[in-house]
Amino acid sequence: MKILGIETSCDETAASICVDGKILSSALTSQEIHSKFGGVIPELASREHEKTLNLIVHKALQESNLNINELDGIAVTQGPGLSGALITGTSFSKGLSLGLNIPVIGVNHLEAHIFANFLAEPHLEFPFVCLLVSGGHTQLWEIKDFLSYNLLGETRDDAAGEAFDKGARILGLGYPGGPEIEAAAINGNHRSINFPRALMKKNNFEFSFSGLKTALLYFSEKNEEIDIADVAASYQFAIIDVLVKKLKHAAEITDCKNCVVAGGVAANQFLRKHSKDQIPKRNIIYPHPKYCTDNAAMIAFLGEKYLSIGKYSNLGFSVLPNMRIV
């Protein structure tokens, strides 16, 4: 089965070709226009998608050596994400679906992040625990099987990626904050400052990072001269320590041998190392860094799974900016 995947949920315009579970091409462009604003401007994101989407789709087809008429279906992000950005991608996909007379599959962006781990480990077996960490979401899932998911807990306020972005802004670093803090932390002592960890009681799988952000703000205001490397390392550790401890406990409670980490924050190298150090009795799986951040390969892959069991969308489907998995 030959599937074109399209991703436009935020500020990456991406297209990918998946054939029988294998990614033949994955084209992407990031919208650098937002960096000077310290965050994504929704209207600008939509306009940039309109400018580049056709070119990106053409590039993905070229790199896969496929003709557009060979496609069996089109998978596109339906949500969650920015309304205008999602509409750009779905409108393009619906038009292409109608013109080629092939089905279109509206895909949940978060569910696709989870299944991106199958691109790293094709023989990954159910059940497994998934820590889903991105700029907009922080969730712990028990994935029992395809279409059988149990939400164990999620953030009450800021997502982990959002905490990185806000922390970077407080420290005067760039956007996006995750890579900026990670780079600043490389030569720092992650135990130099004991920033707070919230909701750490046993059997609590919820997260909260708003207090941590406030603690960083107060610390920076009280201390005129700070070692950015130590502060960044300690702040990063406070976020990752919580994520890893809850992932470990979730694996123990569910008795899952496999743990997967998904979403943009999964690209963080300190998270990768710390999770493997702290959870040695479990198989810890991460996607390739290029499949951690927003991409169309995961959309195409999951879209093919749905189409293979006869599930697809009607042309009247709407975007769902606040779409949830269950």
Give residue-wise pLDDT tens across range 195-218. Answer: 999 999 888 999 999 999 999 999
Please give the residue that has the higher pLDDT: either 202 or 154.
Answer: 154
Domain of 162, CATH number, reads 3.30.420.40
Q: What is the pLDDT of residue 93?
A: 98
322 in a domain, yes or no? no
Q: Is 202 exposed, middle or buried (0-12, 13-18, 19+ CB in 10 A)?
A: exposed
The confidence score (pLDDT) of residue 36 equals: 64
Across 154-171, average pLDDT = 95
Same domain for 29 and 130, yes or no, is no
pTM of the full structure: 0.94
Same domain, 12 and 135: no
The residues pairing with 261 across neighbouring beta strands, listed in sequence order, are: 131
Q: Is residue 320 part of a domain?
A: no
Report the amino acid identity of residue 196: P
Identify whether 316 is part of a domain: no
- 31: pLDDT confidence band, cut at 50, 70 and 90? low
Average pLDDT on 233-248 reads 98
Note whether residue 317 is domain-resident.
no
Average of pLDDT values for 224-238? 95
Neighbours of 204 (CB within 10 A): 12
- Tell me the C-alpha distance between 270 and 272, whole Å: 5
Tell me what pLDDT residue 203 has. 85
| Host domain of residue 238 | 125-289
Q: Are residues 61 and 23 in the same domain?
A: yes
Mean per-residue pLDDT for 245-249? 97
Where do the H-state alpha helices sit in the chain? 42-64, 83-100, 109-115, 117-120, 160-170, 177-185, 210-222, 228-254, 269-278, 297-308
35 has a pLDDT exceeding 90: no
Distance CA 130, CA 263 (A): 10
**Residue 209 lies inside a defined structural domain of this protein:** yes
Residues with Cβ within 8 Å of 31's Cβ and at least 6 positions away in sequence, in order, are 11, 12, 13, 40, 44, 45, 48
Residue 37 has pLDDT above 70, yes or no: no
Cα–Cα distance for residue pair 73/55, rounded to 1 Å? 19
Q: Decide if pLDDT at 221 tops 90.
A: yes
Asked if residue 276 and residue 155 are part of one domain, the reply reads yes
The span from the first CA to the last CA of the chain, in angstroms, equals 27
List Cβ neighbours of 29 (8 Å cut-off, separation of 6 or more): 12, 13, 14, 52, 56
Using CA atoms, how far apart are residues 62 and 211, in angstroms rounded to an integer? Answer: 48
Residue type for position 145 = D
As a whole number, mean pLDDT of residues 95-105 equals: 98
Q: Tens of pLDDT along 276-290?
A: 999 999 999 999 999
Same domain, 217 and 243: yes
Distance separating alpha carbons of residues 28 and 74, to the nearest angstrom: 17
Percentage, residues of the chain above pLDDT 90: 89
Domain count, the chain: 2
Residue-wise pLDDT for 48-91, tens only, equals 889 999 999 999 999 999 999 999 999 999 999 999 999 999 99
Same domain, 271 and 149: yes
- For residues 145 and 283, membership in a common domain is answered with yes
* Residues 234, 191 share a domain: yes
Q: What is the mean pLDDT of the chain?
A: 95
